[in-house]
Chain A
């Protein structure tokens, strides 16, 4: 595949690097302690891309965007700090205002052409940074922002966000604050107050990762926070329209009382099980947003509800309704056990959650299209995650908007999968054949 590789390199040019940070001085010796759940997620990275058409960004210069980010970072200056380790080895953030990396680039294609190409992870990586924290932890930015201008004037605004700072809901809420600042509204008083980080005391002091099904211990990574995979992982985004969802729920589940997340999760689980015959994923992890006490928590945090589902029958031959029912059922939340495990050894354990089992993440409630420029919503938003384990990850989020249509009309869903390369090809074929999903 030499020819496409050459073409890929010529797609992006004019790359310039700089840094942006909080406009106000945070002060000396201010530190931020990540919670236990934050440290459990430290090997994962969220890569989010927001695509805007040219009318949304007319008159917007790089300088204007940078100026707004300076005011935006005043709200949560700890995201601009750098990691250090305390004497016990537990990582913390020194709020030294070092900043986020800011990358400017130009693309030789128009936005429409690009979106037609979009779906392939190779191209996704050009618009968002692939950096991870480490090997020099003290000099690695947790956030990297990239602004890519397309030939037609459209723009891709992307954020590479270390999961240790917060989950996808936190990121999308934080970005919606940026949207308010760019629209000229007064941001709330900065920095916003952080509640006490509650450290849960573990009853069972010898809790082992073995007892937890949702996370897996990996080889120690030291200060380079990324885990190696046994096979090459790629990502791909499927667009599922409202009509297709209706067809799904009527044919497979014969009920309308099912959320898109549950129906899509069940569908994908079954498809993957039939593809990987012999080594079906019998255990899956479901990751949702914790809707209770959301207001009490700080905006930027890791606050998921993590359940696992284990079956002993063949998933490929099972009734999808049964799978959906299992997914819907919320058993014991493993979050507190994970926190206790991390607390036990001061965050020195290296864990992965996404990809320890086949993981389904419900991002339906995230207001991904809330980041508006000049009162226009983005044309397309895609979130994916790096640092996913071999079992793979499936994200379900709100879908592509019609380019011509503003806020009304069907949303559909975007399903982004992170799977071993060979599984993706087979999955694409199967979904295309059986459900016309592309």
Chain B
């Protein structure tokens, strides 16, 4: 017993030292100002009212001086307030909850694969191993056309899926926020792999009879990180157009993209991608500042496409048999790590408290000047954020990020549970994760959320939101009737 005690006590001491240091550095200005203000107050008290008045008259102010000073102050204040960016509020969002008729248990997926792909037992074996280790649960959903043996991906079926997922989410959102479709000024729809003519945004405008002067955009081909790209576009537009509502719809349409070949690198998406979508309402109206759930604080985009390896790591192409599929390279995790580092380098200074930034600076100087072999200091992002939403791209992605950012199991719980319940829903997965945190009642006013998305290109995008009001656990939403079962323990390998 005695040998362990010194370690414990020393680690406790270290913790308190660290705490003290953080408190000191983060509130440095306060510490500086307090003695200054105390000093002035004491001085004023000491001087007494007559002395203050005599000091005032000795300054010899006349009307012109006063007026000019006032004007100057007013002009500076106006310029300051005008050049500040308009705040962007997230009024509310809605996620699509797939019907239980679209459910795909593991056993059904494997049986269908066997029937479709009778001649390739190795592919079947591979898919089974992927599923066992995927971290998905038995309630994830695929669109109706993919349930057929063999799957039936017609254009009509793809449109059917798009209508189902997008319209459900938007109907839900309009009901929750109480706004009418005619009030929407900006519409951004992103769906990477299905891009019909007319576009999905035109489909939304048609269904909801939106105004003829709506500013609509349709982003396709931009991968799983396109959700945050759409939010970025909407934010920029909201800077230019005052008093506007922006509707952002993020989805991925699975029907046309079921891979029917045997190339292993291309079979992975079949096993992981599932049906889902999210509709988000953004606003820059002042009156929404009270009812909005979140306010957008930062949005940082990092594009590693200039590097050839990163560009090719998620690549849609034909396999040797001529079947089209999305090939995931073996370097995916390494490239994701690099992209994340770039993104962190930009976002770190914006969000980290001064204590962490100083530490990072000191260790950087230390590495450069004293000892290059020292491990780089990874800033503690847990101090900057209360909640993390990591794109549920797959179990490996979440594991990697948990390790790199040194996050606890609770921080990545939203991501893991979303992967388990809904699978990889691509760009909308971040919103399912946010809905999980709200459903668990963990979102309080002032909490900061970090959404990280990865996507083909290779891109890493981050968004930082600040919670505007404490959110009561909602009674509807995609987690409504299953939240009590979560969190679940997800074993390394699920025996099929």
Contacts and interface: CB of A to CB of B under 8 A. Distances in A.
Interface string A94-120: 001111000000000000000000000
A19 B112 contact: yes
A24 B100 contact: yes
Interface in B57-108: 99-101, 103, 105-108
Q: Kindly state the interface size class of chain B when it binds its partner.
A: 20 to 34
B105 A98 contact: yes
B100 A23 contact: yes
Interface in A55-82: 63, 66-67, 70, 82
Interface in B111-158: 111-112, 114-115, 137-139, 144, 147-149, 152
B135 to A, nearest CB: 14
Contacts of A20: 101
Contacts of A139: 111, 114
Interface residues of A, number: 20
Majority-rule SS of A interface residues? mixed
Contacts of B152: 16
A19 B108 contact: yes
Contacts of B114: 139
A25 B141 CA distance: 12
Interface in A12-30: 16-21, 23-25, 28
Nearest to A139: B111
Interface string B470-496: 000000000000000000000000101
Interface string A112-142: 0000000000000000000000000001000
A386 B138 CA distance: 34
B108 A97 contact: yes
A265 to B, nearest CB: 41
A96 B103 contact: no
Given A19-B112, A97-B107, A25 B147 contact: no
A19 B101 contact: no
B103 A82 contact: no
Contact of B106 (A24, A67, A96): A96
Contacts of B149: 17-19
A37 B102 CA distance: 35
Contacts of A23: 100-101, 103
Nearest to B151: A18
Contacts of B494: 28
A24 B103 CA distance: 9
B105 A97 contact: yes
A70 B100 CA distance: 8
Contacts of B105: 21, 25, 96-99
A17 B115 CA distance: 10
Interface of A: 16-21, 23-25, 28, 63, 66-67, 70, 82, 96-99, 139
Interface of B: 99-101, 103, 105-108, 111-112, 114-115, 137-139, 144, 147-149, 152, 494, 496
Going nearest first, the 5 A-B pairs with the smallest beta carbon separation are A23-B100, A98-B107, A96-B107, A97-B105, A17-B149
12 contacts: A17-B115, A17-B149, A19-B147, A21-B108, A63-B101, A70-B101, A70-B103, A96-B106, A96-B496, A97-B108, A99-B107, A99-B108
Given A16-B152, A19-B149, A99-B107, 11 more contacts: A17-B115, A18-B148, A19-B112, A20-B101, A21-B105, A23-B103, A28-B494, A70-B100, A97-B103, A97-B107, A98-B105
